[in-house]
């Protein structure tokens, strides 16, 4: 039986996120290594990241304009309270 050579991949990750990820993978019967291999194969097979990546609505132009306006008002001593914007509504 021919064994394929394996490469090592090193990444930096928040320790708590790593712990939570390992726990979730273990509950699925997977190792971190097998999950990364599955992720890599999905990228190659699908030609893209295998899940949707969305921008944080906080950084939208509309929200940034509201924040700039609020900052200017606060600097003038005028502070108003408002609900957070929700793009899904």
pLDDT digits (tens, 9 = 90+) for 8-25: 999 999 999 999 999 999
Confidence of residue 87 (pLDDT cuts 50, 70, 90): low
Q: Domain locations in the chain?
A: 15-46, 55-89
Between CA 83 and CA 78 the distance in angstroms is 17
Q: Is the pTM of this model over 0.85?
A: no
């Amino acid at each position: 039986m021919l064994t394929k050579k394996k490469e090592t991949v090193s990444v930096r990750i928040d320790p708590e996120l790593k712990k939570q990820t390992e726990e979730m993978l273990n509950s699925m019967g997977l190792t971190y290594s097998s999950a990364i291999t599955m992720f890599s194969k999905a990228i190659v097979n699908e030609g893209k990241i295998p899940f949707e990546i969305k921008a944080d609505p906080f950084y939208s132009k509309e929200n940034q304009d509201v924040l700039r306006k609020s900052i200017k008002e606060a600097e003038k001593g005028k502070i108003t309270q408002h609900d957070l914007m929700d793009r899904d509504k």
